[in-house]
Amino acid sequence: MADLLSIDTINFLAAAILLVSLLVMASTRMGQLVRSFAFQSMMLAAISVVLAHYTGSEHIYIVAALTLVVKGVIIPRFLMYSIDRLKVRREIEPLVGIPASLLISGGLVIVAYYVTEPLISSAEAVTRNCLAISLAVVFIGMFMMISRRKAMTQMVGLLMMENGLFLGIISTTYGMPLIVEIGIFFDVFMAVLIMGIFAYRINQTFETLDTTFMRRLRG
Amino acid sequence: MVELLLLVPLVTALLCGLSRSERAIYIFSVAGSLVAALVAFPYCYQAFFEGPVDTGLWYLDPLSGLFMVVIVTITALVSLYSVQYLEHDRKEGEANLKDLRYYHVLLHLFAFSMLMVVVVDSLGLMWIAVEGTTLVSAFLVGFYKKSEAMEASWKYLIICSVGITLALLGIILLYASSVSALGENADTLDWSVLRSVAAQLDPALVKVSFIFILVGLGTKAGLAPMHTWLPDAHSQAPTPISALLSAVLLNCAMYGVLRVHILASEAVPGFSSSLLLFFGLLSLAIATAFILTSRDLKRFLAFSSVEHMGIIALGFGIGGPLAVFGAVFHVLAHSLTKTLMFFGAGNVIQKYRTREMKEIKGLGKTMPATAALLVLGGAAIAGSPPFAIFIGELFVISGALAQGDYLVAGLFIALIVMIFAGMTYRVFGMVSGRPQEGLPDGEIGKLRLLPMLVLATVILLLGLFLPEVMSDALGAVVELFGVSA
Amino acid sequence: MLSAVLPALMLSLPLLGAALALLMRGEGHRVFSYLCSAASAVSAALWSVLVLLNGTSTFVLDIPSAMGDYAIRLDPLGALVLLITSLTFACVAMYSLFSREGITSRGASLFNLFMLSVLLAMVADHVLLFLVAWEAMSLTSFLGAWGSREDQDTAAGWKYLAITHFGAALIIAALAFLSISSGQVRLSEMHGLSSSLGAASSAAVIVMVFLGFGSKLGLLPFHIWMPDLYSRSPSTVTALLSTAASNVAVLVLVRFVFDMVGVGYQHVLSLAIMGLAAITALWAAWQALVQRDGSRVLAFSSMENMGLILLTLGAAMLFQSYGAAEPAAFAIMAAMFHLINHTVFKALLLMGVGTVRRAAGEWDLEKLGGLARTMPGLSAVFLFGTLSVAALPPFSGFVSEWAMFKSLMHAEPIVDPLVRIALPLAIAVMALCTAIATAAYLRLYGFTFLGRPRSNGACHPRPLERVELFPLVPLAALCLLLGVASFPLLEELTSAVSPLVGAAGVQVIDGLSINFLHQGGLNPLGLSALLAVAILAVFLVLRTLGRRQLVRSDTWDCGTPLDRRTQYTPTGFSQPLLRVFQQVYRPRTEVREELRPSQYIRAVRFEQELPELFVLHIYRPLTSGVIAVAMRVKRMQSGSIQAYLAYLMITLIILLVVLR
Amino acid sequence: MQLIDLLLNLIEVLFILLFSPLLTGVIRKVKAWMQCRQGPSVLQPYRDIWKLLRKSTVASNEASWLFLMIPYVCLGAMVCLAVMVPVFTAGPSGGVGDMVAVIYVLGLFRFMMVLGGLEGGSSFGGMGSSRELMISAIVEPTLLLSIFSVAAISGTTDLSAISDHFAGLGLNGLSPTLFLASAAIFISLMAENSRVPFDNPATHLELTMVHEGMLLEYSGRELAMMELASYVRLTMFMVILCNVFFPWGIALGTGAGEIAIGVGSITLKLLLLSVSVALVESVMAKMRLFRLPNLLTISFTLSLLAVMSYYIL
């Protein structure tokens, strides 16, 4: 009974994560973007807690704590700070318009379900929905990077991909070895930091964060 | 023990970071990389001939041995070459002492992360190390802080990070696929363990997982059409770093693909091979188009790397003892030859202050030694005997013919002939002709010719002879792929 | 003992020479370097003589390669070709030394390396060793040919390299295929593989090696590199490229087709090869006629001769495919004999043209002329070469061309009507080629050496030192010797080629004549003697009338003083034939009259351009097509990071959806 | 080769050398008659040569050492040809009577003569040489193909053996192949020897001349040799035509009677052929230079047909 409740909770949270991803596609404000990401990360942490409770493996608690701290607090703060410093308030004129983006995102969700369909049959109960959702979140994050111009948005897109990935990790494997998990967190954190540094430098050199202007290297 | 090997580049990076004088940095850097090579070779020997070394965290088998040789050798040569390259930059005012320190610290951290990739047993740790290489080298790509360099490193960072994220998804799925064989709480991502149960992995998961890993790590390995970051990063990085990226980093990513390929081909025979074959041919074809039309010397060489990674993928994809041997040999041959080419390009670019091949003329007159080495390297990289790359290509062709893949062999030959034409046209075009007015004759720095000379000799000798110890070592690598030479 | 030392010397001396030239400073070492190559040539010649006396010799070298130990092997056929090649090498080395052409350290080292690769390619008995030597040959000859002048554009040399690499790729594929299907890496272990390969595969292999080696020989449409490279390279390089490299190509081709693969029942393929070779020869003859540069004439002449040789080899394949082994043996013998003769006269002619160019400072036939008076020695040896290449008795080219003609007349035992039409056509083509090519050689000789000098350079050429002619004299003597007394060579050749086609006991020498199957032989010795006696008799008879009185005077000028420009020009000289074969040349001619105000014609300008049809209609569309496609592909690298990520995503999704 | 063969060969050479100017004289005489002129005596060529032989030589300043050697080679080649070709006996040739070789000896003659034309450095020589080569480029393959057809029938390329073969067959030997080939060779004869539709041997007008242009710089003894060589060449063509295609009467052994018949028949045949050459020359007009290839191509086609007809019919 408790297990069923856990599974339902996890599924619910996972659906919420997907929903956040879709909503993000509809938004053009940077602040909203980052906050959504933070919210998504927190839900991911919640899933981890539920899962830790469900499987009883303690190190997932640590993972949950790390997710909450690193992805839910530190990285969003850092991003907000950068947004303030670099003065990028909103994504003007995305490359793919909002309605089209939403349609494509929906399509991606379908693709994700279609792709994971043969895997799900052989997998466990928890995994079923979550794997498809995690793939969908990864796809949507990637699509966000494709359809938006600003460097900051791309960073957020990447982070959302990571979130999707993380959902996949905990739902299919109930957590990797701790050292790997910590390493991944460290890497993600460093990546964001380094991207932030580069974004800052890019803003200095190009006087914009619009990546569509960076087309000097071609052919 | 393996820790010692990993410690050397870390300590070197630390020493370089603490040094106050230019001279000390150079000495630490060169000495450190040489020590790393010296330390690494016994391990490689052990890995090749005394069975896999498995200490839980670390795992050394012939495949790691092969890539380790490449990493330490090229790093040593690059650090030697960097000395006068950076001296020249200093003279030109492109870099100050701080940059110099920064460069060397990152260089050795880069080497560290790449070594890490090939010595860890866990695929998860390998992933961390691969991501680490991206993060470290992004700074090296952006070393010159010009707008193009910024652009290149941003693209490098973003595209490779996306790729690597996908690869991690693939690794997770692979892990998931082992659950049925190893049980719920096996809690392991170790390759050696997975290898022992490879045949029992869930095929559906393995297929999807290999797709993710191929696309993800393939991005980093420069397989088309995910290679797009590669010409940008290679062209903007300082030339010694380009050499390192092209000759070592791509191989490290390919190493990851191969690890999974070994597992996948046991779980789902033929699936991963055909994908590798497809991407190999596609990379070759796309690289051909760019090699024929490139104008920028370093982009040109970068596309040549795409081509050669394609050949390596093709060789593994074709399978069979001949093609796999060819591909294994090609890993070695390509890194040595490409390093030679980038070193030559570095000399030329610093001398002519341009990367436009149309503006580089008369090398034979202005820098005869570099020109001669470039001609040798150009012939070699284009696949002409008696150089090492030819042997690799010959074995890949033979392998294709032996497997009855006549169409593949035909396409491969057609593409490499076109590439040969494009390659030689450009290289010989630069060597001949009349140099621009007012360009003084003479090499810039004699020391930088030394690593080039070493490389040229090695690729020539490798093209002509294959000592028994080497053929045994390569044979051990080939055996890992389930075919015996 | 000696037979092991000689090959070792032969292969190590050029390495020493190359090293000497590169490492040491000063002229003396370059001299030593060329001496090294000459010494290597001598040991090669001695080794081949030993092989001819004692039979095939094989050495397995204890050098590990990626495909087992290397091995070298010299059989009698190889020995014959090696013998003549090494003699040529010795002469060219001496020529380089005396004429100081290519005496730079780069030139000397490349010469040695080229020589090494040629020798290795001839004796290699190992798949990998052969491929390495073959490609090294292309590379070293390219490097030697290209960039000798600073202002030179790369295109000429590059075309050579690219096309020859294409050929090499075909050879590589063919050899790899043979090696895999036979499980052998030693060339001498592969015999008659066609029976195990099946008709389609062996046909494919034969086509590949023909085109592969053909690319080196100037087989249509791979010939476009030849004229440009020949006209821009030092004559020492072209002299070797045209002879030594061609020898390797033909020798190995013969081994491939007749020994390693075996012809089997490839009637149609043989006819196709004959057709291609015939067109090649004819095309080359036509082109040779209209070139303005002596080197280009000789480039096309090489192509023509190789075309004829390939035509004869094609005929040999045809005979063999019908099971007529003996005519096949005769045809191969004839082709190899012509190859040997070609080596001698072509090396002589190319060095001769090089000497003229250096002495007069002109390459354009329009600006040469009258050099026979200022350089009588050169004009005499050059005449020997010209008569030989024009296949006139009693010189070497005549005997081998006669043999090639005769070999085409052996249609008798074959009743297939296709063959009975094809062989006479082949004879017609060969005859037409010979006639047109003769006109081209005549034009080359006549407008270089005879008449009135057409420029200052030709009027006052730099006087030749006597030593510059020395290396040419043995070649000229060989031109005559091979024409007059070639019996030992022919016998050796016959016994060397007969086993290739499985014909035992073929005899081509009957008493003093070359005679075979078909009645009607040629006695070259008798014919030469007859010619000599006849000329001598005429001379002696006329001497009885007393000494002739000789008065020198101006050329008859119809009352208008003659100057340089009133002579017939080489261009004008070939106009009649050019008009006859207009459809082939497709010249673009423009005649413009410049009028004075008073309507009198002041000047007439005549411009004629002979387009390079193969470049125009095949290569240019091909390259521009490839580049256009490449440019289209290049658009994918648009610079937009979003696009790049999209590629990644699309690839991923397609793979997942298709292959899940 | 027997001594008697040697002797017979020597006699053949002398016969040809002495007889050929007469044939030229006959042709000129017949042509004159056709034009209702009296014409010079048939012995005029002998007188010309005799006179030229005793004159001194004027050589151009531009001419090289080769210039004065060429006439010896040319005449020598023709003498050689007279030995190679059976004239009135079809004895064994000892390997020098091969037809392909005959064509190449003719080639040597032409090559040298054309070089001689280039020696003076004037435009006439070059013009003659250039035109000669245009003609010979098509004539040579024609000759070779005609010979190939004959060789295919008789199974040999040895001229004596061919004569032997056809003489033995008699009238049975006649075949379409033979007719086609002989027609081709006849056209070649006219072309190679500068007869009328191709060249006008009697003119020195630069627009038309081919052969004379090349000889323009020769004088005295050298001119005599070149002229004699040309006469011999004409005769040798006729001899080949006669002895290959209509060898009846040729001596097959060395008996005195046979040889007498042989001499008689060849003399008769040569005279008849000369008259027919003269007749053809008289009824035809000189062709424009660039119309010549058409005629030559016809002869080439004839020879090709000759070969084909043998194999296909």
Among the listed residues C330, C301, C328, C303, the one whose alpha carbon sits nearest the alpha carbon of residue C317 = C328
CA nearest to B396 within chain C? C176
What is the rounded distance in angstroms from the CA atom of residue C116 to the CA atom of residue B464? 14
Is C639's CB within 8 Å of A154's CB?
A: no
Average of pLDDT values for C367-393?
91
Average of pLDDT values for B16-21?
89
Mutate to test the interface with C, among D10, D50, D111 (most CBs of C within 10 A): D111
Q: Which residue has the higher pLDDT, C200 or D93?
A: C200
Residue B113 near residue B63, CB atoms below 8 Å: no
Provide, rounded to the nearest whole percent, the portion of chain C with pLDDT above 70: 97
Beta strands C509-510 and C68-74: pairing type?
Answer: unpaired
Average of pLDDT values for C221-237?
87
Residue D210 near residue D131, CB atoms below 8 Å: yes
**Which of the residue ranges A37-46, C143-152, C186-195 would you say has the lowest mean pLDDT?**
C143-152
Inter-chain contacts counted by CB atoms under 8 A, chains C and D? 278
Which residues are CB-neighbours of D84 under 8 A, at least 6 positions away? C527, C530, D93, D96, D97, D98, D101, D102, D105, D159
Lookup: tokens for C329? 């043996």
Of B127, B202, B235, the CB nearest to A217: B235
Show contacts of B85-92: CB within 8 Å, 24+ apart.
B85/B238, B85/B239, B85/B240, B85/B346, B85/B350, B85/B445, B85/B448, B86/B238, B87/B445, B88/B350, B88/B444, B88/B445, B89/B238, B89/B350, B90/B22, B92/B350
Is C645's CB within 8 Å of A147's CB?
A: no
Beta strands C588-595 and C550-553: pairing type?
Answer: unpaired
pLDDT grade, residue C153 (50/70/90)?
low
pLDDT grade, residue B104 (50/70/90)?
very high
Helix (H, G, I), strand (E, B) or coil at D95: coil
What is the rounded distance in angstroms from the CA atom of residue B455 to the CA atom of residue D194? 71
What is the rounded distance in angstroms from the CA atom of residue C266 to the CA atom of residue D109? 42
The mean pLDDT values, 10 residues at a time, for chain D of 313 residues are 78 90 92 90 92 88 88 93 86 75 91 90 85 89 87 83 82 81 90 83 69 85 92 92 83 80 90 92 84 87 87 71
Chain B positions touching C655 (Cβ under 8 A) are 211, 214-215, 275
Chains near D with 3+ CB pairs less than 8 A apart are: C
Does residue C221 have a cis bond before it (omega within 30 degrees)?
yes
What is the rounded distance in angstroms from the CA atom of residue A196 to the CA atom of residue C187? 63
Is C538's CB within 8 Å of D140's CB?
A: no
Of D64, D139, D216, the CB nearest to C556: D216
Is B132's CB within 8 Å of A187's CB?
A: yes
Of B212, B425, B465, the CB nearest to C154: B425
pLDDT grade, residue A1 (50/70/90)?
very low
- Interface confidence (ipTM) of the complex: 0.89
Is B154's CB within 8 Å of A214's CB?
A: yes
Inter-chain contacts counted by CB atoms under 8 A, chains A and C? 43
Tens-digit pLDDT profile for residues C35-72? 899 999 999 999 999 999 988 888 888 888 888 888 99
B394–chain C nearest CA distance, Å: 7
Chain A positions touching C642 (Cβ under 8 A) are 95, 145-149, 211-212
Chain A positions touching B208 (Cβ under 8 A) are 115-116, 119
Chain B positions touching A195 (Cβ under 8 A) are 157-158, 161
Tens-digit pLDDT profile for residues A29-65? 888 889 999 999 999 899 888 888 877 777 788 888 8
Is A177's CB within 8 Å of B188's CB?
A: yes
CA nearest to B147 within chain A? A205
Provide, rounded to the nearest whole percent, the portion of chain A with pLDDT above 90: 16
Lookup: tokens for D93? 């040739």
The per-residue pLDDT of chain A, averaged, comes to 84
Reported as type and span, the H/E element at residue C324 is none
CA nearest to A145 within chain C? C642
Which residues are CB-neighbours of B386 under 8 A, at least 6 positions away? B460, B463, B464, C132, C135, C136
Q: Which residue has the higher pLDDT, B275 or C157?
A: B275
Whole-number pLDDT of residue D94: 66
In this predicted structure, the answer to whether residue C581 has a pLDDT above a threshold of 70 is yes
**Which of the residue ranges A169-183, B10-24, C64-78 would you say has the lowest mean pLDDT?**
A169-183
pLDDT grade, residue B326 (50/70/90)?
very high
CA nearest to C659 within chain A? A115
- Whether chain B lies against chain A with 3 or more Cβ pairs closer than 8 A is yes
Whole-number pLDDT of residue B262: 92
Lookup: tokens for B413? 């030959």
B111 alpha carbon, distance to own chain's centre: 12
Is D80's CB within 8 Å of C531's CB?
A: yes
The per-residue pLDDT of chain C, averaged, comes to 87
Residue B339 near residue B78, CB atoms below 8 Å: yes
The structure tokens 């990389």 sit at B33
Q: What does the DSSP assignment read for D66-88?
A: HHHHHHHHHHHHHHHHHHHS-SS
Of A111, A114, A146, the CB nearest to C642: A146
What is the rounded distance in angstroms from the CA atom of residue C13 to the CA atom of residue B458? 23
Provide, rounded to the nearest whole percent, the portion of chain B with pLDDT above 90: 59
Cβ neighbours, 10 Å, residue D173 = 17
Of D101, D121, D133, the CB nearest to C567: D121
Q: Which residues pair with C142 in a beta bridge?
A: none
Number of helices and strands in chain C (H, E): 28, 8
- Whether chain A lies against chain D with 3 or more Cβ pairs closer than 8 A is no
Helix (H, G, I), strand (E, B) or coil at C44: helix
Question: Taking each helix axis from N to C terminus, what angle separates A59-66 and A178-206, rounded to the nearest 10 degrees?
Answer: 10
Residue A141 near residue A109, CB atoms below 8 Å: no
Is D133's CB within 8 Å of C439's CB?
A: yes
Q: What does the DSSP assignment read for A185-200?
A: HHHHHHHHHHHHHHHH
Whole-number pLDDT of residue C607: 86
Residue D30 near residue D274, CB atoms below 8 Å: yes
Tens-digit pLDDT profile for residues A147-172? 888 888 888 999 999 999 888 888 77
pLDDT grade, residue B417 (50/70/90)?
very high
Whole-number pLDDT of residue D1: 52
Among the listed residues A26, A41, A43, the one whose alpha carbon sits nearest the alpha carbon of residue A76 = A41
Is C179's CB within 8 Å of B290's CB?
A: no
Of B155, B402, B434, the CB nearest to C641: B155
C141–chain A nearest CA distance, Å: 34
Mutate to test the interface with B, among A150, A187, A189, A205 (most CBs of B within 10 A): A187
In this predicted structure, the answer to whether residue B255 has a pLDDT above a threshold of 90 is yes
CA nearest to C653 within chain A? A111
Q: What is the pTM of this model?
A: 0.92
Q: What are phi and psi of B83, to 5 degrees?
A: -55, -60
Residue type, A130: C
C274–chain B nearest CA distance, Å: 26
Residue D67 near residue D59, CB atoms below 8 Å: yes
Lookup: tokens for D268? 């008769």
Instruction: Assess D69–C contact: CB distance below 8 Å, yes or no.
Output: no
**CA count, 13 A, side-chain hemisphere, D138:** 27
Number of helices and strands in chain A (H, E): 8, 0
In this predicted structure, the answer to whether residue B187 has a pLDDT above a threshold of 80 is no
Residue type, B270: G
Does residue B386 have a cis bond before it (omega within 30 degrees)?
yes
What is the rounded distance in angstroms from the CA atom of residue D291 to the CA atom of residue D109? 25
In this predicted structure, the answer to whether residue C148 has a pLDDT above a threshold of 60 is no
Beta strands D57-60 and C550-553: pairing type?
Answer: parallel
Is D118's CB within 8 Å of C452's CB?
A: no
